[in-house]
Amino acid sequence: MAAGVDLQRNGQLLTYHNAKRAQQLNPAFQDKHQQLFSYSASAVGITYNKQQVKVAPTDWSDLTKPEFRNQVTIPDPQTSGSSLDFINTYQMQHGNRLLKALKQNGAEMGGANKEVLDAVVTGQKAAVFGGVDYMSIAAIKKGERIGFVYPKSGTLVNPRPAMILKSSRHQTAAKKFVDYLLSAKVQQQVEQNHLIAGTTTKLTNPLNNQPINTYRVNWQRANTALTDNLASFKQVFN
């Protein structure tokens, strides 16, 4: 989402009035400027190895407990866009005190989303701080011995917007593609691939249908805070 907001702030996006089904997007995903069309979203949470973790974590702070010492990995925000947005918004909500506690407990920054998920699936690490939901849920559906939870104190549900550049030479085709992404057919496919559909009426856990406690994010403010918060994260995880 941050990249899209940056393009919007720089005046590089085309306004598409009356995009089909845009008004059916969840209110949390709608863009009043009609430039960012969040046809899907993903949330982050805690992925953990069920064989190593006997008591499932329920909140971020659980990963600072002794049983998780040297067993937590974090997606690298420089290679994972979802991690970048999560680390930024987490610090906007809570500061970096927990990040420091995680580091003191031996948490390490890993690679991209798939790399950190594989580390937990194979038992190299016990848990991922800020793992992407659809990848973990897909692994659970395949029978991997992992669990996934949305922390009770809240988490980021990150919109995944489609957008059209003003510089595009194929704006008519691009508009048709946006309409296609918002169609009922594609929205159903989004859900089948364990993502959150943009037109969903409720933000719920696809594993148990329980509501997700989500952060309220002002994406313009988040875009402004991004550089400082990323620098703060780097200071902790040098």
Q: How confident is the model at residue 233 (pLDDT cuts 50, 70, 90)?
A: very high
Domain extents in the chain = 2-40+158-197, 41-156+213-236
Coil, strand or helix: which one is 37? Answer: strand
pLDDT at 89: 95
Q: Tokens 């890993």 — which residue? A: 110
Rg (CA), the chain: 18
pLDDT digits (tens, 9 = 90+) for 32-59: 999 999 999 999 999 999 999 999 999 9
pLDDT digits (tens, 9 = 90+) for 99-155: 999 999 999 999 999 999 999 999 999 999 998 999 999 999 999 999 999 999 999
Average pLDDT taken over every residue of the chain: 95
Cβ atoms within 10 A of the Cβ of 209, count? 8
- Residue 226 reports pLDDT greater than 90: yes
The Cα–Cα gap between 124 and 216 comes to 34
Would the CATH topology of 2-40+158-197 be identical to that of 41-156+213-236?
yes
pLDDT at 15: 98
CATH class in words for 2-40+158-197: alpha beta
- For residue 100, how far is the Cα from the chain centroid? 21
Q: Tokens 């988040």 — which residue? A: 222
**236 close to 100: Cβ distance less than 8 angstroms:** yes
The Cα–Cα gap between 194 and 142 comes to 12
Q: How confident is the model at residue 206 (pLDDT cuts 50, 70, 90)?
A: confident
- Residue 238 reports pLDDT greater than 90: no
Instruction: Give the mean pLDDT of 204-233.
Output: 92
**63 close to 102: Cβ distance less than 8 angstroms:** yes
pLDDT at 2: 84
Contacts of 66 by beta carbon, 8 Å cutoff, 6+ apart: 105
Contacts of 53 by beta carbon, 8 Å cutoff, 6+ apart: 67, 126, 127, 147
The Cα–Cα gap between 73 and 30 comes to 33
Distances (CA, A) of 21 to 17, 139, 214: 11, 31, 24
Contacts of 5 by beta carbon, 8 Å cutoff, 6+ apart: 36, 219, 220, 222, 223
CATH number for the region 41-156+213-236 comes to 3.40.190.10
